[in-house]
Structure 1
């Protein structure tokens, strides 16, 4: 297994400040899609749509990583894309 610390410094301008982010108030599930997204308030008082691996079938779990990578690539080329955060 790869530890989270193994990724530190591998992507330029990346910060791993998400360790402090926690969901404080979950809301009902938004839809019955793969990742079962739900809206939540986090301890930074921001509202997020959260997707969980546990909500994905095994064959679709990679979709969350793909969404995260695509959003990062979109930001690199200046495409309009929403922010992404990792919540442990």
Structure 2
């Protein structure tokens, strides 16, 4: 049986990495990067990535949820969601 304490600890850890990922890369501390890295190491899609590549993703990447119909533009990508 899962105790309420275990659920609270898991929810807290989950929220912590999301808070770190929500920051823009320039705003992240070394601790933020470590927290994101620890979480991504457990994601199956990233399990074969070299640790230094995964760390670079944690340093430079960010996630943004866009509403349907929003156009995302960057120097290399232009997609409509």
State the TM-score, normalizing by the size of structure 2.
0.29
Structure of greater Rg: 2
Which of the two has greater strand per residue?
1
| Structure ranking higher in helix proportion | 2
